[in-house]
Chain A
């Protein structure tokens, strides 16, 4: 057969190759992507599949928590992944038998105040480290990293002794008050966050401050009027991460808050399943579902800042 092929057939592609082959190829590619079913699968279909697998892995514990919360019997052994009945029994038990409302209020108060203040304090320090050169600057920055590496809660014996004295003199900021935890948490305001913010601030051109200064702006005007609005993404991230961290803090809160009505959600709910694990499981799940609402809502609102804020600060840190 090959001998019979006329020379014209073999020579035909040559002019095409020099002239129109790219256009032809593209057309072919577009057709293949658009029409064939296998094409859809290869392009996006398998992505959906992996996303669904990841979703299942990510969401089944949350679904289980939710089912357990509305499970009418309220024990661990009867809780199913798919709810087998719905009742608000666990919720009413939660409000009747525990100080849940007080726990919720304490947690929100502590996390909001400590989160906001530590975000602000950290931003102030980051501004100083990013924009000024002074004695002890390098030492301070390195010191912040180092002190973070010492597990702070091991100092809990010392903290306990300190706050025993503080409770004697100033009961308002002593044990069993939210303020004791707030001022204690502020001790950790400077740290990794400060580095993150300093990295972010370093990416904002200094010319901006310079020109404002030439126009007669004071350092405070520059900080509050120019810098703070520009670093909103990283403020949102550190504020949110701080908030979540304080909501979840268990160890120190567990030592400091012993009165039932002074506890936080973490301490209170832990107490629920510490002893009666099986029986209190539904009540615990109901409490956990309600406790998740603020963080989940905040997360969805601030989602876009997190991605930008974390990576920008990290690359330049």
Chain B
């Protein structure tokens, strides 16, 4: 009871503590959510009833916040073209295009600039501390506009650049370099256009050369007169030659991402090849580790064998080692020039250079990573098979091999089938196994996006975060496919084991 009161008090304390920043920033939606969650917690725990909910709430809250919501949100982006150049709304795109086209015009104001942040230099919002060339007045430029800088405590360099201002952190050249991307997008809107930086110490007020015209729903270039008309299906501004401006916006594309997976010839060809390899990878990994693990388990499971405990402790070592480190170690052992494997066998195989050897290499690594686990569970299952069963078999005159095949193996299969299905589902999406060892390679010359040892999951990762630009929408569509495939296989698998269990 006391514990309960203390815990509820803690919840309340966290909630109150959490509310302050939300109130400060006037985030009423977030505050409402916080109040709602706290209220639900109290409603459940203060009542003598609702017992199951008392045990389910902690896990469910975390599940909803960090799995269900992100996954559903990600799935919803599968119906959009969300990605690089299609991140924000149309207004954002227009603003970015206009901002990027700002050029110096006759009579525009020049400023001495100091790049600063509000608060932390890494995460704080960027501001420009500007000093007018002529009037020597200092101002603060934020993404909302210009404001006068209160003169108390402000220090200027001989040239006029602000070197100190209370409440702001002035960025050094190195720190500014770290925020390069944010800086490139930053400008201070003014009546005639915007203030943009020219280097890190000077800025000027310029007027946009390209402007959005609502009448034709297009972007017009003031100098050349060229126009780009908005295309709402692709989320791009396109000119009459079909060329588009780099900056676009996020639009709904319906089922196009899904259709692309199946119909786009280049994507579809590699998608299905990858699917086949992915299934083979998961199946071979499970079959190989199970076979080897079971073999060793059966061999060691003999009452007259001395040193069983030592063997067992040593054999599970590969499973106990940190997997990320061992995967990286294997990658380097397969290194063509320096790797241990080539040096040990005196070969010069470029393991990750050809699809077949790369596949063998990743499968071998998985065999090594996985068989201790199978050995462990097979040993457990073997020892849980009642001794009288084996005795009965030998009394009936069955040879050991025959008895194993007809009695023990089926029993083992029933006991271990759920674990094997779980292992299949895990290996189907075993990202680290590929990403850390072969990185999906080797890649075919006509498609640098998808390599021979790529699993769907590493392929998706490259789509979403790869060097070729982010395609979150398309990646989300592929991940929905992955989800469906794994779900179908697992459901079939669990159905069949249920059937197996009923037979016995």
Question: Could you tell me if B384 and A79 are in contact, using CB atoms closer than 8 angstroms?
Answer: no
Asked whether B324 is an interface residue with its Cβ less than 8 Å from the other chain, the reply is: yes
Q: Map CB proximity to B onto A159-202 as digits: 1 under 8 Å, 0 otherwise.
A: 10010000111110001000000011011111010100000000
Q: Nearest Cβ distance between residue A54 and chain B, in whole angstroms?
A: 5
Selected contact of A269 from candidates B295, B300, B325, B482, CB within 8 Å: B325
Selected contact of A157 from candidates B65, B74, B436, CB within 8 Å: B74
Question: Could you tell me if B67 and A152 are in contact, using CB atoms closer than 8 angstroms?
Answer: yes
Kindly state the separation between the CA atoms of A266 and B321 in the bound complex, as whole angstroms.
12
Asked whether A61 is an interface residue with its Cβ less than 8 Å from the other chain, the reply is: yes
Chain B residues with Cβ below 8 Å from A284 are 325, 328
Q: Nearest Cβ distance between residue A128 and chain B, in whole angstroms?
A: 4
Chain B residues with Cβ below 8 Å from A192 are 422
Asked whether B340 is an interface residue with its Cβ less than 8 Å from the other chain, the reply is: yes
Q: Nearest Cβ distance between residue A310 and chain B, in whole angstroms?
A: 5
Check A187/B63 contact, CB under 8 A, given A292-B321, A299-B316. Answer: yes
Asked whether B56 is an interface residue with its Cβ less than 8 Å from the other chain, the reply is: yes
Kindly state the separation between the CA atoms of A77 and B343 in the bound complex, as whole angstroms.
9
Q: Which of B37-74 contact A (CB under 8 A)?
A: 51-56, 58-60, 62-63, 65-71, 73-74
Question: Could you tell me if B475 and A315 are in contact, using CB atoms closer than 8 angstroms?
Answer: no
Q: Map CB proximity to B onto A126-162 as digits: 1 under 8 Å, 0 otherwise.
A: 0110001010010010000111011111111111001
Q: Map CB proximity to B onto A300-317 as digits: 1 under 8 Å, 0 otherwise.
A: 100100111011101101
Chain A residues with Cβ below 8 Å from B416 are 311, 314
Q: Nearest Cβ distance between residue B258 and chain A, in whole angstroms?
A: 15
Chain A residues with Cβ below 8 Å from B432 are 248, 250
Question: Could you tell me if A190 and B60 are in contact, using CB atoms closer than 8 angstroms?
Answer: yes
Tally of contact residues, A, Cβ under 8 A: 97
Question: Could you tell me if B475 and A154 are in contact, using CB atoms closer than 8 angstroms?
Answer: yes
Q: Which of B1-53 contact A (CB under 8 A)?
A: 18, 21-22, 25, 27, 30, 51-53
Chain A residues with Cβ below 8 Å from B332 are 76, 273, 277, 281
Q: Map CB proximity to A onto B326-356 as digits: 1 under 8 Å, 0 otherwise.
A: 1011101101011110001000000000000
What number of A-B contacts does a CB cutoff of 8 Å give? 272
Asked whether B247 is an interface residue with its Cβ less than 8 Å from the other chain, the reply is: no
Question: Could you tell me if A158 and B70 are in contact, using CB atoms closer than 8 angstroms?
Answer: yes
Chain A residues with Cβ below 8 Å from B73 are 155, 158
Kindly state the separation between the CA atoms of A189 and B304 in the bound complex, as whole angstroms.
42
Question: Could you tell me if A188 and B66 are in contact, using CB atoms closer than 8 angstroms?
Answer: yes
Q: Nearest Cβ distance between residue A253 and chain B, in whole angstroms?
A: 10
Of A3-11, A23-31, A41-49, A88-96, which binds chain B? A41-49
Kindly state the separation between the CA atoms of A145 and B491 in the bound complex, as whole angstroms.
10
Question: Could you tell me if B123 and A167 are in contact, using CB atoms closer than 8 angstroms?
Answer: yes
Check A62/B483 contact, CB under 8 A, given A153-B431, A157-B464. Answer: no
Question: Could you tell me if A187 and B66 are in contact, using CB atoms closer than 8 angstroms?
Answer: yes
Check A127/B321 contact, CB under 8 A, given A189-B62, A314-B416. Answer: no
Q: Nearest Cβ distance between residue A283 and chain B, in whole angstroms?
A: 12
Q: Nearest Cβ distance between residue A147 and chain B, in whole angstroms?
A: 6
Question: Could you tell me if A65 and B71 are in contact, using CB atoms closer than 8 angstroms?
Answer: no
Asked whether B460 is an interface residue with its Cβ less than 8 Å from the other chain, the reply is: yes
Kindly state the separation between the CA atoms of A134 and B53 in the bound complex, as whole angstroms.
9
For the residues of A in contact with B, the DSSP-based class is helix
Question: Could you tell me if A250 and B67 are in contact, using CB atoms closer than 8 angstroms?
Answer: no
Q: Map CB proximity to A onto B358-393 as digits: 1 under 8 Å, 0 otherwise.
A: 000000000010011000110111011000000000
Question: Could you tell me if B368 and A61 are in contact, using CB atoms closer than 8 angstroms?
Answer: yes
Check A250/B324 contact, CB under 8 A, given A184-B66, A288-B329. Answer: yes
Question: Could you tell me if B319 and A61 are in contact, using CB atoms closer than 8 angstroms?
Answer: no
Chain B residues with Cβ below 8 Å from A168 are 25, 123
Chain B residues with Cβ below 8 Å from A269 are 324-325, 328
Chain A residues with Cβ below 8 Å from B372 are 58
Question: Could you tell me if A154 and B464 are in contact, using CB atoms closer than 8 angstroms?
Answer: yes
Check A307/B329 contact, CB under 8 A, given A58-B317, A150-B483, A169-B25. Answer: no
Chain A residues with Cβ below 8 Å from B379 are 307
Kindly state the separation between the CA atoms of A189 and B57 in the bound complex, as whole angstroms.
12
Selected contact of A124 from candidates B56, B71, B338, CB within 8 Å: B56
Question: Could you tell me if B482 and A186 are in contact, using CB atoms closer than 8 angstroms?
Answer: no
Check A149/B384 contact, CB under 8 A, given A44-B302, A154-B460, A311-B377. Answer: no
Asked whether A16 is an interface residue with its Cβ less than 8 Å from the other chain, the reply is: no
Asked whether A50 is an interface residue with its Cβ less than 8 Å from the other chain, the reply is: yes
Q: Could you name 10 residue pairs across A and B whose Cβ atoms are closer than 8 Å?
A: A47-B300, A54-B315, A125-B55, A158-B74, A223-B55, A265-B325, A270-B328, A296-B321, A299-B319, A300-B313
Given contacts A61-B368, A154-B479, 18 further A-B contacts (CB under 8 A): A55-B314, A55-B315, A58-B315, A62-B321, A124-B56, A128-B53, A147-B67, A151-B460, A152-B70, A152-B71, A154-B74, A154-B457, A169-B22, A194-B59, A219-B54, A265-B324, A291-B325, A314-B418
